[in-house]
Structure formats: structure tokens, C-alpha cells
Structure 1
Amino acid sequence: MLVLLESASGFYIFKVNDESKLNQPANLYKEFENAKKATKLLSFEVNQKFKDATDALTSTTALIEGKLSKRLKKFLSKKVLSVYSDETLAVADAKLAGAIKEKLDVPCVTSNAIQELMSCIRIHLPELVPDWNEDEEAAMQLGLSHGLGRYKLKFSPDKVDTMIIQAISLLDDLDKELNNYIMRAKEWYGWHFPELSKIIADNIAYIRTVMTIGMRTNAVTTDLSEIIPEEVETQVKELAEVSMGTEIAGEDLINIHALCRNCLDLHEYRAQLLEYLKNRMMAVAPNLTILVGELVGARLISHAGSLLNLAKHPASTVQILGAEKALFRALKTKHDTPKYGLIYHAQLITQANSKLKGKMSRMLAAKAALAIRVDALGEESSNELGVQNRAKLETQLKFFEEGNIRRISATGRQQRSQHPQKFENKSKVMIYKDGADSTFVPKNKRKSFDQDDVDDEAKPSPAKETNEQEEEVGEKTMDDDQDHQQVTSAKKKKKNKKIKKESDECVKERQAYEQELTRETERLNTMREQQRDVYEINKQQEIINETAMLLPDCQKRITAAYHDLQQLVEGVGDYAENEIYSAAKALLQETNIP
């Protein structure tokens, strides 16, 4: 049995001296405890080294794919089959064994025992192969690993889109975290100086101002000209003297400053990360970056998973990438599907008006799909395609906004150049007739006005016909001008009449509305007066009822008082003064209550 072993330097053929040892793969390692035992079981037969790194890469790539390379086929045909025609060939890969058996008609075997044997041979390969060079083998392994890595990636090592995916995700997280920190700092320092956040709108300028001022009492003597404008600085100093904030301790200010320093550090790191993302996007996808920008391009790559996956999407998918939730909702409810997703934030779409956003997103997605495929699968990394497409889109957007949408195609332009249209200008100048100067009066010829004479009337002469045509052209021109003026004046009159009619209708409608409003107001006032009268009547009726209820009781009380007064007068009549007695008696007589 022969064993085929491949390495970074070439192919090697070994012969198994005792095949019975392969029946126990678990104990096979005992036969390779040292080089002496290994040489007893195996013997080196022949080898074939690679010519250069390209030859090694080609052969190794074919082995990985389970194919028979030209180098291996030539080696087996000339150096192995010609000498060892009856031997069985042990191969590690089952696909490669099938390819060798199919093309060279060589019996091949592969099993777990063969795999274990291959591993043991690699351990003692320097002792089994004569003239083995360890340094040469290490150099070949290093070069082959780099070449194989590039082949697997199928693009430059600089184009690692994983860095872009992680960078854009980290940038989004930094934005959220930085916003939370700044809001926390504003709320914290707002207890001491609440007016500051209303004056300074920029978050970073606010944080730097807090770091510079410290306590608000220091604002008057602090120079803030490097952070905020002069007029804003004046407002800060004026409001610091009359601020309604509370006092804080020095320890509080120390913690606030620590939070502000973290905010500034995060802001600086974000700027550095954004610059890194721009450079990485220009290296990985320059055409896509020029079309949609580095942030939108990075989000598209992150959403698709990789640049290669994004290149597999059609333009329609690139257009709505990121709006899947709205798309499925629209399909479920049978409404209009969204026109754009993440691509909406591109500069070419944001600068277009609302009516052109959908059209521009469709055009930009088509160009972006081409740019992505060039960036992902192109051999040369150039941004010429992106620059050309962006210039075309900007020109198209300008035409759309100005209304110059109609353009002559290349075919139409060629037809126009081959068959140009001819335009002739007919002169409308009236020529003076010289015959009008003649004083000769022609004789009147007698003519017959019978119907037969009219039918057989002779045709006029060519000169006379020319003069008549010139007169007709002049008269027709004057008539056309008059007709045009009449039509224009008629249109103006019709328009003025229409405007006057509309204004009269508006006046009539307004008068009708005013009359209706007056009638409603009068009716409302009448109803209010009627309600007021009903209320007064009800109130008077209640008073009368209450009086009628109290009247019998009052009558009894008056009668009792009258009798008491009568008894009193009768009892003290002889001793009372004359005036009092006379008045009481007169009162009793006038009242006359029974």
C-alpha cells in the first residue's frame, strides 16, 4: 500500500511495510513512538516539490476543493503508476480519492486508520524524508497560508467589512451613551445654574462651560470667549448674578466635573471613531461611500451582514433595506409599500423636495447597487464609477427641480443630425404696387353675366395673380392681427366678467350670511327674554304661595295680640295716663278685629 501525503513544499509517497498494523487504529501511535519504529513501518519512496508559491497555491486550492490538480496528476502518472502499478493508494480526502480513481483508474482507500496514519507521518516527517529542510518548509508554509487566505477572501486584506460593522454599531452606541451622559449632567448642574441650559444649546459647549465656570459665582470673572460667542458670554455672566439656582457643595461639583470629563472623552473618541470609519469605508467601498456617504453605506453593510451579501441584493431591495417592518405591514394591509429605508438619509435624497424623494431614492438605489458590486467583486479599487454616477444623479436632480425633464436621446440626436428640419420664414412686408401711380382709366368692357359666361370665365394673368396674392397676404396679416387683438380683448372681457361675477356672488353670499346671523341673534334674544319672564313669574308665584301659607298663622297672632291689648286697656284704664289710654282705645276702634 502506498500513502499520498501533501505538505507546503510538495507531494510525498510512502510505502507501508506492514499493513496489518492498520487494523488497530487506536494502537497505531505506538508504532511511531520514535523515528526508528516509524522507519520500520514506513519507507520513503518518491516526492515532487512545488516550483514556486503560485504552483503551491494552485495545487493546495485544488486539494481543498477535492479536485485533482495538473501537478498531482502528472506526478502520479509518471513517477508512481509507472513503477507501482499494482499498489493501492491511501488518500486522506474521500473526494480526492474519487477524483484520482475516476481519472487515473487507480484503486484508492480512505478510512479512520488512514487519517491516524497521516497524523503520525506528519509528526516524524523530518526523520522519514531525506534531505529535509526545516527553514524552507516553514517559509513555504507561511507564504502558502497568506496566499490561501487571500484566495479565500477573494479581495484585498484591507477590505475587511467586519471592522465597518463593529465601528458603526459602536458609533450608534456612543451616540446614545453620550446623549444620556450629557442629559444627566444638565439635570445635575441645573439645580445650581438652571438658566445656563436655556442659553447654550450646543451640548459640548455646555459641558465645556460647566468645566470652566465651576460655581456660578465664578462666571463673572471667567473668560469664556474660546467656548461660546461674546453675546452669549455676556448673557451667561448677567444671569449668573441673578440665578434662581440653589447652592451646591464642593463635593457635588467634583462629581459633576468628573461626569463632564467623561462626556468630553467620549466626544473625542467618537470623532476619532468617525474618522476611522470614513477611512475604512473609502478603502473597502469607495464608490458606495461617494454615492450615499460613509454613515449610510456602513449601515447598509451592517444591515446586510457583509459587503458581499449586500452585493447580492437587487436595487429594489437596497432601496427599502431597513424598512422591512413597514414593508411587511403594507403587504399585510394591502397598502402602498415604502419608497425608501436606510438610503433615505443620503444627501442626494435629503436635498430633494418631497415630490422627488421617491424618484431619487429609486435612481440612487440603482446606481448604488452597481457601485456595491464593483466594490465587492472588482479587481481594482477605484472610485471613478461612484464619481460619475453621483455627477449624473446631481444633474438629473437639477433637471427635475427646474422642470427640464425632457431630453433628446442619442438615437433622436443622430436622426436630427442626419435629417435636419428646414424652417422658412415667410415675409409679411407689403410691396407697393407701381400700377397704382397710373392715371389711365381703362375702358369698361361689357361682360355677360349669364351663368354660362361665369362658368367659362377666363383665368387672370400671372402678373395680376401675383399682385392679388400679395394684397391677400397683406390683408390676411392685418386681419390676423386684428383677430388676435379681438380674441385677446374678448378673453380679457370674459375674464373680467367672470371675476366680477364671482365677486358679486361672494358679496351676495356674505350678505345672506349676515342676514341669517342677524335673524339668529334676534331669535336668541327673544328666547332669552321669554325665559327671563317665565323665571320672574315662577318666582312671584312661589312668594304668593309662601304668603298664603303664612297668612292664617299671622291672623291668629294678630287676634291674640288684639285681645291681650284690650284686656290690658280695660285693666289699667283708671290708672294710666290719659294720652296713652286714648291712643290705645283709638287703635282698638280702628282695627276692629273680632
Structure 2
Amino acid sequence: MPKKSDKRARFLKKSRESVKEAMKSRDMLLASVTKSIESLDKTINLLGEHLEDWYSIYFPELKLDDRVKFARLVMMLDRKDVDQKELASLVGDKKAAEIKEAAQGSLGAELSREDLSQCMALARFVADLDKQRSKYGEYQEKLARELCPNISEVAGPDLAAKLVSHMGSLSKLALLPASAVQVIGAEKALFKHLKNRKVPPPKHGLIFQHARVSSSPKKVRGKIARALANKITLAAKADAFSKRDISEKLRKEFDERYKEIMKEYEKERKKK
């Protein structure tokens, strides 16, 4: 009869092999790079906000919605000697002219060379983070197209990566029904609904990021999200199990369903 220590050793060996096998999984790589991108986005946004506050002491009139572009502007801008042509290469002629005019009558404080150099160092850091984010984005797309080509074609590689990352693996995503895929990422809203039936259930989660869902009229957004979730579910099963390329068929079916929904919506709208 084997000793307890032998059983334990075999169990530990099997566990280590299982972990080692799991670590090889491309799912984990995709999840890791996706989470890294999300963290970088948050960091860029936060540091960009701090940069705007800091630079507003020197040039309060400078406004730009894109925080990465704002950082690049800070790197190239001299308020006392504005190179309009150089600015135009980044923000266009009209905005460059506006910035030059604002610089000439700026109410900002005078800062020392050291103060400005520290501000520019932060701007460079934000710009460098954005470059790294772009590299990770390319790597994420490559992994997504390799691991889940059908989902990548139907929903786009970025959304495909986020869905797999949220679930932890492609196989887990593939086992979900379409109704669950539709609300991945909206767990808090779903929990509130289950806790209090007076709270309406969520109509979409991460798949709201798909252009056809986010840009559609609110009234039909749920239908479009459901149609997309149906195709993602089929795509996930093909990617995880059969490994067949059915992306063209699924994309065509989703396009047709989208057109049907929008046609019905326009018809109803005209009646009113």
C-alpha cells in the first residue's frame, strides 16, 4: 500500500504539470497583455490629467481633448516662440493658428527653465507610455487573431481579446450561452437587477464597444447586441473546439441581421 507521502508527491507532481500546461496557454498571454493595455490606458489618462493641470500654470489657454496629443504639444511648444508649421503637423492648421494667437496673449505665469523642463519630462513620459501601448496593441491583435480568429473577424481583435481576458480562457468563453456573452463585463448591473427586479437588466456589457452597438439608436441597441452575441458564441465554439474558419459566414449573417434591425427601426420611426 503506497504511503501518504508517495500520494502527496504524485499529487504535487500532477499539480505542477497542470500549472505548467496552463502557463503555456496562449489564453494567459492574451489576458496578460490585455490587462497591461487597460492599465496603461488608465495611467496615461491619469498622468495626462496631471500634465494638463501642471502646464495650465504656464499656458492656461491651451486646451485639447486628446491627452497624448496634449503631451506631444507640450514637448514641441514654446509659448514665446510658437512654430505654427510644426504645430500644424500635429493638430492641423486651424488649431495651430488658434494656439499661436492664444500664446501671444496668454495669462499664464512665467516659469523657470527648470520648471518647464520638469513639465516636459512628464510630457515625454506620457508620450513614451503611449508608444508602448501601441506596441502592446499590435501584439494583442496578433495573439487574438492567432488564438481566436473567428471572434476577431466577427467582433474585432480588440473586443475578442477583452472577452477572452474577462473570462480567463477561450474555452470558458466558448461554453457560455449567447445571453451570457451579451452581458460579459456588466456583472455589477446584472447583480443589481437580480437583487432588485425593479432595476432593468443590462442589455450589453463589453460588446457595447463594437461600433455597430455603440453607434446604434438606444431603442435597438439591445437587439443588435443580442445579434452580435449570437455570432460571437458560435465563433468562440469554432475557435475553441472545431478550429474551422466560419468567420465570413458569421460576419455576413450579422451584417444581414443588423440591416434588418435598422430597417425595422427606420420603418417604425417614420410611422411616428
Name the TM-score class by shorter chain.
Answer: 0.7 to 0.9
Taking the TM superposition and a 5 Å limit, the aligned residue runs for 1:291-310 are 291-310=154-173
User: Is structure 2 residue 46 aligned with structure 1 residue 180?
Assistant: yes
Change (3 A) 1:361 1:201: closer
Which residue does the alignment assign to 2:36? 170
2-structure distance, mates of 1:376, 1:252: 55
- Helix, strand or coil for the counterpart of 2:141? helix
Which residue does the alignment assign to 1:474? none
Which residue does the alignment assign to 2:62? 196
| Cα RMSD, aligned residues only | 2.6
1-structure distance, mates of 2:105, 2:5: 90
Q: Is the 8 A contact 1:349 1:361 kept in 2?
A: yes
User: Which among 258, 266, 272 is matched to residue 397 of structure 1?
Assistant: 258
Which residue does the alignment assign to 1:243? 106
Change (3 A) 1:370 1:209: same
Structure number with the higher strand fraction is: 1
2-structure distance, mates of 1:387, 1:220: 49
TM-score (norm 1): 0.40
TM-superposed deviation, 1:113: 11
Q: Which runs of 5+ in 1 are unaligned?
A: 1-109, 116-147, 406-594
Number of residue equivalences: 252
Taking the TM superposition and a 5 Å limit, the aligned residue runs for 1:573-584 are none
Change (3 A) 1:243 1:330: same
TM-superposed deviation, 1:326: 1.8
2-structure distance, mates of 1:175, 1:268: 11
Q: Is the 8 A contact 2:60 2:108 kept in 1?
A: yes
2-structure distance, mates of 1:227, 1:221: 10
2-structure distance, mates of 1:296, 1:286: 12
Which residue does the alignment assign to 1:266? 129
1-structure distance, mates of 2:217, 2:169: 32
TM-superposed deviation, 1:114: 11
- Helix, strand or coil for the counterpart of 2:58? coil
Q: Percent identity?
A: 31
2-structure distance, mates of 1:339, 1:306: 23
2-structure distance, mates of 1:240, 1:403: 52
1-structure distance, mates of 2:209, 2:133: 20
Q: Which has the larger radius of gyration?
A: 1
CA deviation digits over 1:409-437, x for unaligned, max 9?
xxxxxxxxxxxxxxxxxxxxxxxxxxxxx
Change (3 A) 1:237 1:161: same
2-structure distance, mates of 1:300, 1:268: 24
Change (3 A) 1:363 1:195: same
Which residue does the alignment assign to 1:361? 225
TM-superposed deviation, 1:394: 0.9
Q: Which runs of 5+ in 2 are unaligned?
A: 7-16, 267-272
- Helix, strand or coil for the counterpart of 1:217? coil
Change (3 A) 1:114 1:270: closer
- Helix, strand or coil for the counterpart of 2:185? coil
Which residue does the alignment assign to 2:246? 385
Change (3 A) 1:243 1:351: closer
- Helix, strand or coil for the counterpart of 1:403? helix
Q: Is the 8 A contact 1:352 1:397 kept in 2?
A: no
- Helix, strand or coil for the counterpart of 1:247? coil
TM-superposed deviation, 1:339: 2.1
The letter of the residue matching 2:183 is I
1-structure distance, mates of 2:226, 2:85: 54
The letter of the residue matching 1:347 is A
User: Is structure 2 residue 211 aligned with structure 1 residue 322?
Assistant: no
Q: Is the 8 A contact 1:326 1:337 kept in 2?
A: yes
Taking the TM superposition and a 5 Å limit, the aligned residue runs for 1:402-421 are 402-403=263-264
TM-score (norm 2): 0.83
TM-superposed deviation, 1:295: 2.4
Ranges of 4+ aligned residues in structure 1 off by more than 4 Å: none
User: Which among 151, 174, 179 is matched to residue 288 of structure 1?
Assistant: 151
TM-superposed deviation, 1:395: 1.3
User: Is structure 2 residue 96 aligned with structure 1 residue 233?
Assistant: yes
Structure number with the higher helix fraction is: 2
Q: Is the 8 A contact 1:212 1:222 kept in 2?
A: no
The letter of the residue matching 1:321 is I
2-structure distance, mates of 1:327, 1:114: 46
Which residue does the alignment assign to 1:341? 205
The letter of the residue matching 1:339 is K
Q: Is the 8 A contact 2:224 2:261 kept in 1?
A: no
Change (3 A) 1:237 1:351: closer
TM-superposed deviation, 1:170: 0.9
TM-superposed deviation, 1:167: 1.1
1-structure distance, mates of 2:219, 2:5: 70
TM-superposed deviation, 1:222: 7.4
The letter of the residue matching 1:389 is L
Q: Is the 8 A contact 1:220 1:240 kept in 2?
A: no
1-structure distance, mates of 2:87, 2:191: 53
Q: Is the 8 A contact 2:51 2:123 kept in 1?
A: yes
Which residue does the alignment assign to 1:373? 237
1-structure distance, mates of 2:46, 2:184: 28
The letter of the residue matching 1:372 is A
Taking the TM superposition and a 5 Å limit, the aligned residue runs for 1:104-143 are 110-112=1-3
TM-superposed deviation, 1:275: 0.9
CA deviation digits over 1:467-496, x for unaligned, max 9?
xxxxxxxxxxxxxxxxxxxxxxxxxxxxxx
- Helix, strand or coil for the counterpart of 2:218? coil
Q: Is the 8 A contact 1:192 1:245 kept in 2?
A: yes
The letter of the residue matching 2:140 is L
- Helix, strand or coil for the counterpart of 1:191? coil
Larger RCO of the pair (alpha carbons < 8 Å, separation 6+): 2
Change (3 A) 1:388 1:221: closer
1-structure distance, mates of 2:197, 2:106: 58
Change (3 A) 1:337 1:226: closer
- Helix, strand or coil for the counterpart of 2:257? helix
TM-superposed deviation, 1:269: 0.5
Q: Is the 8 A contact 1:340 1:361 kept in 2?
A: yes
The letter of the residue matching 2:58 is H
